[in-house]
Amino acid sequence: MATSKRRGSSASTSRLGSGGELHQSSSAPETRITTNHGVPISDNQNSLKGGQRGPTLLEDFVLREKIQHFDHERIPERIVHARGSAAHGFFELTDSLADVTRAKVLTEVGAKTEVFVRFSTVAGGAGSVDTPRDVRGFAVKFYTKEGNWDLVGNNIPVFFIQDAIKFPDLIHAVKMEADRGYPQAASAHDTFWDFIGLMPESTHMIMWAMSDRAIPRSLRMIEGFGVNTFRLLNEEDEPTFVKFHWRPKLGTQSTCWDEAVKIAGADPDYHRRDLHEAIAAGNFPEWEFGVQLLSQAEADALPFDILDATKLIPEEMVPIRMIGRMVLDRNPDNFFAETEQAAFLPTNMPPGIDVSEDPLLQGRLFSYQDTQLSRLGTVNFHQIPINRAKGCPFQNLQRDGHMQTQVFKGRANYEPNSLAEAGEIGGPRADPDGGFRSAGIPLGESKVRLRSESFADHYSHARLFYRSQTEIEQAHLASAIVFELSKVTLDHVRNRVLANLGNVDADLAKRVAAGLNVELPPPSKPAVAPEDMELSRALRIVGKYPETLKGRAVGILVTDGADGAIVEAVRKAVEAEGGAVKIVAPKIGGVTLKNGKKLKADGQLAGTPSVIFDAVALVLSKEGCAKLLKEGAAIEFAMDAFGHLKAIGFVADAKPLLDKAGVAADPGVVDLARNAADFLAAARTRQWDREPAVRMLA
């Protein structure tokens, strides 16, 4: 059959798409768009139709593939840790653990191992906000020479439950209530606190979850913990218990509760944006990596069981040995392909690292693999690039399966086999010397469904945590429980929690009851009477993090007629110390300074409130200030900065705005013209002494 010559087939032909956009045709393979299977596409703007205004034809495979792929772009989100942010980086070992492990990633000093790290909230869905009161996941995938090592932990060193069989109950309780579908990403409701009151083993974790640790300032400023107890095995297979720790170089820092709530409204992606922008600007987040090491005898001598995930090992009992550092220096190229498809498995461990009998960890060894099969839809999820072993090849005799991407050669997919060519082995074989081996822990007891008696003390560690806090942090913790329990509608649920708190600290229980204006019930009867432990300063935040502008952000509110010299002086001083500066103006177009120059704005006042900064400066003209006195966003800018204990620098012409916002004089409110150095000093930390004057705490 004769075919007509295609009009405009020249490689240099230009044409207009349906929207008027210009398309330059090209025959260069590296520039032309294709189907998923490599077929070049001639038109990606218009469906194939029976006439210009006719029906779309079923034969249009370009349309069908494009729409079908779009329809399936989302995969089931994680049941927990659904909302995550991630980055690439490296781990560098600085101190060898060759005496206790044969894992090369922990023995080869100076070697750099590629890592991918995912931070996450726990309770909310993928579309929830970044700043709820919640635990933060801290999962690190090391692409080691001996396979992937996934250290899957949290920013809190303990957990709510002792046995994994309770995990579905915990998550069902904290998630949206089954009949009404709310609240989202919040623990302040009946079902969660009902579970907590009935599970005294959760009390220690509640102290952490209600502390400032659960409302972090930045993902760059959270600690990370392996949570569970693991083992290390050396060349002689001698076991050593280990706890893993990540320490942020910027220090562990938090927000105020009211501030976290307002950030959620001002910038739901606050933590994700903060992490991305810091890395993009070259301010790479860094953590120290440390271990607590114990022999079996040392573990047995402790007054608690290290296999109990609701307990921690105080640093004063077993110091943390810092052995390396981790730097995050590259943002993901594609959120879905990397951050969303990343699959972390506690079962991913190189030879020389092993699990313990911790019953929470034992359940996780199954759960994580199982959930990835559901989410990613195939046993071949390890072939997704973000999950693929990079430091070494992966090879075995497992074949086929949904979405198999490798083409395996040969007849034999089993072992042992004898079908190899002369001089070759019949596929990969086990390595008895260099392969993964489990610790030879003797087993000889009967099968039971019992909780170890050594797990029965539910309050000593909760008491240790609460009493180790500063007065400021104790007040925050008590106020957080008051807030949460104020959302509980059932009296018996509230009373049970209050009764359990009586075993933690009598004053804490009284403060919470007084904050709720309810009668305090007598303490519940504990299975084991709590003991007083030596207080641990390491459990605090306040007074522990470095006072520095590095990693912190300062917002400068300006108006037309502002003094550009002061703006520039503040900017240079802050940036010289490693801080970031953003200019906020009444309108996004910026302002005209006193000298007639235009100053570009990074944010518009109503959309860039002071809650997203660590300190603020008000550089206003007299006329500009007069206009802002009629603007609620400006008044709140100053009011919130003061209420959230931030340093406030100001020029004389801005004083009327401070007065209207109720900002009182204190060391953190500084006249920039008189002593700008005092503003910088105050901006390095929060003004904790101000707090009693600005809010009522439990």
Tokens coding 193: 């606190």
Type of residue at 354: D
Distance, in Å, from the CA atom of 107 to the CA atom of 98, rounded to the nearest integer, reads 5
Type of residue at 431: D
What stretch of H or E contains 208? Answer: helix 203-209
Q: What does the DSSP assignment read for 565-630?
A: HHHHHHHHHHHHTT-EEEEEESSTT-EE-TTS-EE--SEEGGGS-GGG-SEEEEE--HHHHHHHTT
Q: Mapping DSSP to helix (H, G, I), strand (E, B) and coil, where does residue 39 land?
A: coil
In the numeric block, the tokens 């903060």 are attached to: 274
Q: Is 81 a catalytic residue?
A: yes
Type of residue at 179: D
CB 204 within 8 A of CB 310: yes
Distance, in Å, from the CA atom of 170 to the CA atom of 74, rounded to the nearest integer, reads 26
Burial class (CB in 10 A: 0-12, 13-18, 19+), 65: middle
Backbone angles phi and psi of 687, in degrees to 5: -95, 75
* Residue 280 CB coordination number (10 Å): 10
In the numeric block, the tokens 């044409």 are attached to: 15
How far from chain centre, in Å, is Cα 460? 28
Q: Mapping DSSP to helix (H, G, I), strand (E, B) and coil, where does residue 508 land?
A: helix
Q: Which of 371, 426, 428, 379 is nearest to 405 (CA)?
A: 379
Alpha-carbon torsion, ordered 638, 643, 649, 650, to 10 deg: 40
> HSE-up of 251 (CA within 13 Å, CB side)?
17
Distance, in Å, from the CA atom of 536 to the CA atom of 79, rounded to the nearest integer, reads 34
Helices (H), 215-312: 257-266, 270-280, 296-301
Distance, in Å, from the CA atom of 22 to the CA atom of 204, rounded to the nearest integer, reads 64
Backbone angles phi and psi of 265, in degrees to 5: -80, -35
Tokens coding 122: 């726990």
Q: Which of 249, 358, 233 is nearest to 304 (CA)?
A: 358
Length of the chain: 698
Q: How far is CA 550 from CA 108, 329, 459, 545, in A?
A: 31, 16, 38, 12
Tokens coding 463: 């008491």
Please tell me whether the peptide bond between 393 and the residue prior to it is cis, using omega within 30 degrees of 0: no
For residue 16, the cross-strand partners are 22
Catalytic residue among 148, 154, 331, 348: 154
Please give the angle made by the CA atoms of 78, 70 and 399, to the nearest 5 degrees: 65
In the numeric block, the tokens 């726990």 are attached to: 122
CB 480 within 8 A of CB 446: no
DSSP 202: G
Backbone angles phi and psi of 554, in degrees to 5: -120, 130
Please tell me whether the peptide bond between 183 and the residue prior to it is cis, using omega within 30 degrees of 0: yes
Give the chain's largest Cα–Cα span: 96
CB 314 within 8 A of CB 536: yes
Q: Is 72 a catalytic residue?
A: no
Catalytic residue among 81, 88, 245, 644: 81
Tokens coding 678: 């005092």
Backbone angles phi and psi of 123, in degrees to 5: -80, -35
Contacts (Cβ under 8 Å, ≥6 apart) of 493: 190, 193, 194, 197
Type of residue at 31: T
Q: Which residues are catalytic?
A: 81, 154
